Structure 1
Amino acid sequence: MDRTFRCDLRRLFVRTELRNNGVVKNVREQAEGREAVDTTAPAGSSRERVARSILDHGPSSAADLAVRLGLTQAAVRRHLDALTAAGYVTSREQKVYGHRGRGRPARVFLLTDSGRSTFYQAYDQLAADALGFLVEAVGGGEQGKEALVAFARARLARDGQRYAHQLGDCSDTEAKAQALAGALSADGYAATVRSAPLGEQLCQHHCPVAHIAEQFPQFCEAETELFSQLLGTHVQRLATIAHGDGVCTTFVPRAAPPPQHERHTPETTSTTDSTAASGRNPA
């Protein structure tokens, strides 16, 4: 790991047990009811909470973060400025669907690759190197790709058994998607479900294997297949963190309602006509 990056990481996210000076507050800012900005903020501090909230909920505005974390917008913006300066956070205009009102569009903040890497588990590169070696060991090319697909499916099959159990007897699409999101969140994917026209969007705000999936997209493809099997319908991957998107988004189409058959009101007929029509479907 680059020495400069290690130093920046230590400065922003150093553990409390290693350094306690992050708890010292600026007296003047406390008197003004504002939160001091400490570049040696320990883990669990407001600055890390801001980064974690963006990780868990995806692109967020300063107002969203303030409400979510119980901080003032001014405090949130100072933390965002520090994270942006360190290269852990970037911003863009908020996407607006439908008619946009007057005024400048709000800006939302999202984690950069460097920001996400601070939350990833160690040995990502070791795993990527091992997979690359195995691909070459079986011959590379199409054989290597097939081996990767088989490995990805086998790895996810174990998770799929647990997820299927948690889906239980869910019948409608929304209930299945919500149950799957809960199961994924328990495994560190920070998943949520939001309604969309004609279906649901299953959003994974964190991907513990994003660095691996970036190099080996077979993992994303196998996961999409698993979702389709668990939800009992064809799903569509709209975005992935591995491809540089802020959130992994999967569209789950809502099941079409059963066709409604027209009800025919029987007309009053004679006994002879009724008997003659018995056993036949009405025209």
Structure 2
Amino acid sequence: MSVEHLDETESTTRERVRDLIIELGPITAADMAERLDLTSAAIRRHLGALEKVGQVTVREDTSAAPRGRGRPAKRYIATPAAHKPAGEAYARLAVQALQQLGDEVGPAAVEEFARHRSAELTTRYRAAVEAAGEDVDARAAALAQALSHDGYAATSRPVGVSDTVAVQLCQGHCPVQQIAAQFPQLCEAETQAFADLLGVHVQRLATLAGGEHVCTTHIPVSIPTRAKE
């Protein structure tokens, strides 16, 4: 195998490790090795390289569950540097356009733009969500899959001790992250679209635009869905 091919293989594997952390973090090295079918040594090598360039960092396991003796397992999360740029020039242009819209027409114009985005998202994902049936958990999973298809690196994760009472929709990527950092109305519009699609009141717990490593939306699944209009 040539040096060039070896370097390309290493780079591709490292991207797979980084992308898995973006999608499923916080995640342990052992979980990564199992999911990617890599050795522990290979995972440690790639994690070291990703930490060196500032793309991943460690979050200590704060789980209340007893682990016995020894240090808590390290769980890795992605840093903002891990996310592929969504086009710096495009982001700057979009921010400037929204700023000018707000300055010349007023804040209500930006709010109206956000409402249009909410409606667009609802329309885009309605068919995929409706096909999952009436179960909120299944609808959330379908929404996560549809979002992942569009590059959001989304997953649907159950939360709760015994019976599942809620799921969390986690998005490792956000195509409008740089814009939403200055215009949180876009995050609010997305949250409203999720509520409309799932038929329940949802709560946004964290956002990439707000500096977190993932966008997290809390979705209750044990309460009756809202009546359709």
1:240 is the counterpart of 2:207? yes
State the distance in 2 between where 1:229 and 1:82 align: 42
State the distance in 2 between where 1:21 and 1:165 align: 47
Higher RCO structure (Cα 8 Å, ≥6 apart): 2
1:48 is the counterpart of 2:15? yes
Displacement after TM superposition at 1:136 (Å):
2.1
State the distance in 2 between where 1:147 and 1:202 align: 29
Matches within 5 A, 1:118-197: 119-122=84-87, 123-138=90-105, 143-144=106-107, 146-168=108-130, 170-197=133-160
Say what the alpha-carbon RMSD is for the aligned residues. 2.3
> Match of 1:120, as an amino acid?
P
State the distance in 2 between where 1:242 and 1:80 align: 25
Deviation digits for residues 78-134 of structure 1, max 9, x if unmatched? 111122111222212123144453321111222221221xx1321223322322232
Distance 1:160 1:100, change over 3 A: same
Counterpart of 1:262?
none
State the distance in 2 between where 1:149 and 1:209 align: 16
Deviation digits for residues 239-282 of structure 1, max 9, x if unmatched? 11211222211111124379xxxxxxxxxxxxxxxxxxxxxxxx
State the distance in 2 between where 1:54 and 1:131 align: 32
State the distance in 1 between where 2:94 and 2:68 align: 48
State the distance in 2 between where 1:184 and 1:106 align: 30
Asked if the contact 1:189–1:204 (Cα under 8 Å) also holds between the matched residues in 2, the reply is: yes
Matches within 5 A, 1:17-32: 21-24=3-6
2:189 to 202, 211, 222: 222
Asked if the contact 1:172–1:255 (Cα under 8 Å) also holds between the matched residues in 2, the reply is: no
Asked if the contact 2:118–2:192 (Cα under 8 Å) also holds between the matched residues in 1, the reply is: no
Asked if the contact 2:94–2:179 (Cα under 8 Å) also holds between the matched residues in 1, the reply is: yes
Counterpart of 2:221?
254
Asked if the contact 2:117–2:189 (Cα under 8 Å) also holds between the matched residues in 1, the reply is: no
> Match of 2:15, as an amino acid?
E
Displacement after TM superposition at 1:57 (Å):
2.0
Q: Say how many residue pairs are matched.
A: 217
Percent identical among aligned pairs is 49
Deviation digits for residues 205-255 of structure 1, max 9, x if unmatched? 221211211121111111111111111111111111211222211111124
Larger radius of gyration: 1
1:58 to 11, 17, 25: 25
Asked if the contact 1:167–1:180 (Cα under 8 Å) also holds between the matched residues in 2, the reply is: yes
State the distance in 2 between where 1:129 and 1:97 align: 46
Displacement after TM superposition at 1:162 (Å):
2.5
1:108 is the counterpart of 2:90? no
> Match of 2:47, as an amino acid?
L
1:210 is the counterpart of 2:192? no
> Match of 2:138, as an amino acid?
A
State the distance in 1 between where 2:62 and 2:207 align: 17
- 2:209 partner SS: helix
1:69 is the counterpart of 2:36? yes
- 1:95 partner SS: coil
State the distance in 2 between where 1:121 and 1:184 align: 16
State the distance in 1 between where 2:207 and 2:172 align: 10
Gaps of 5+ in 1: 1-19, 25-37, 259-283
State the distance in 2 between where 1:231 and 1:252 align: 9
State the distance in 1 between where 2:207 and 2:77 align: 14
> Match of 1:121, as an amino acid?
A
